[in-house]
Structure formats: structure tokens, C-alpha cells
Amino acid sequence: MSDGTTGLIVAGRVTDVLPRGLFAVRTENGPVTAGMGREAAHVVRVKPGDEVEVRLSPRDPTRGRIVGRTR
């Protein structure tokens, strides 16, 4: 079982807020649909235009999880 820590981390910009806690993120490699963090205590609050780091899914590189905001 994977603990969810594998996967490439890429930088991108949030372009749109989607339903159910998802965000559209544009990276230099193309678009990614990203979900929020694992735990409610560690929610990363983002809005369109924010620069974020996304951990890509090893199974589907068009999906990932926002792991942090870059300043």
C-alpha cells in the first residue's frame, strides 16, 4: 500500500475553482486537476492566481494534490 508520498512535485498556478474541493492548475507541462490536502487540519487555502506546488499522481499525471503555496 502506498502512503501517498510518491509522485513528482511540480509548480503551477491555480486557474479555476472547481466543485467538490478541486482546482484547475496550469503547470509548464500542461493542465492538472488538483484536490486539496489530506487532512482538514492541514488545508492549504488557495484562490485563482495563486502559485502552488502539486504532487502528481503516479497513476494519472493529469491529477494531483496541492501540497503547498509558493510565495
Task: Tell me the per-residue pLDDT of 11-48, one tens digit each, with 9 for 90 and over.
Answer: 999 999 888 888 899 988 888 887 765 555 567 788 89
Q: Please check whether residue 61 lies inside any domain of the structure.
A: yes
Query: Is 1 part of any domain?
Result: no
pLDDT given for residue 41 in this prediction: 59
Torsion over CA: 51, 33, 66, 64 (sign): negative
Q: What does the pLDDT read at residue 50? A: 93
Instruction: Give the model's pLDDT for residue 37.
Output: 53
Q: What is the model's pLDDT at position 1?
A: 46
Residue 22 is part of a domain; what is its CATH number?
2.40.50.140
pLDDT (average), residues 53-58: 90
Number of domains in the chain: 1
Q: Three-state DSSP class for 56?
A: strand
Band of pLDDT at residue 49, cut at 50, 70 and 90 = very high
Q: Which domain holds residue 42?
A: 9-69
Q: Give residue 64's Cα distance to chain centre.
A: 5
